[in-house]
Structure 1
């Protein structure tokens, strides 16, 4: 039922390792239930599995025109040795230390008290990363040259002056035309 045959057409070498040890794996009787697949004997790369009467021809064509498939490596289970972490006694609450001295270990039950220290979670790690990025951005913002800061201050003063002028109605004809050109779409002020 199972056979490794040499195809009628010579197969090109393996696209993964370059070996000429490439074979056609054909199974089943001739007909619609026949399967064929091209396999490299050296690195076990394989082409697509084709089913049908013309399975060998399609497998050969797929081997020459498409990339090879590598077998998926088996998952290796990693055994982790747990190392007991000593408790930081200097950071504990004094009431908890007194309770530990008074109550034996077999009678002590964990409870959510004022000295409960939750372990770090993925959310805490994310928040620490965001905080570090914020600190880096803040330090970069403090390093902005003084000329840029002075220019921003002048723009802010000019904007405050324009708003005050707009609200009090003290616009001159020249200032009014300039105001219409630059700030006509402002929702704060409307033209008189």
Structure 2
């Protein structure tokens, strides 16, 4: 495992879309042989669903449309990588969105032209097979929505727990059945169990 560190010239942009909290001015990256690079930032951990709900102005169930724009990093401009992904709302539990609305969700992960998977804190990109419960926050002066708590605000009800274990031969195409790539598996699975119990998808 190769560890790298990247200095962020403008952490404000990250804070603006709810990606990081705190005053850290750097992210640590771990690059694996599988072509997955994970950047680690300071994120507030939600131990209980009630805390996550309190921090999410919008709670919906949605599916990914397949439409996504990849935004690569440009630290000189204060821009950190993200994917602008279009989802269709299937059910609204909280907030002013409506069923069938199509909105942009800012995902803290990309797959670049070299097929390398970049992620922040183990976030796994949505795919067209997923059935997602999303905890979102509108981004001021932007048209889209940030995922609250990064990996803690997106759950695929189709996948049990975090999903399958990543293998040495894993590539971005192998991550369809992976809901979380990070190390806080116990915390993620506990939160997801609570989410799936309360916000059940209709078959």
Whether TM-score is above 0.5 comes out as no
Shorter-chain TM-score: what band?
under 0.3
Q: Which has the higher strand share?
A: 2
Higher relative contact order (CA 8 A, sep 6+): 2
Report the TM-score, using the length of structure 1 for normalisation. 0.20
Q: Which has the higher helix share?
A: 1
Task: State the structure with more CA Rg.
Answer: 1
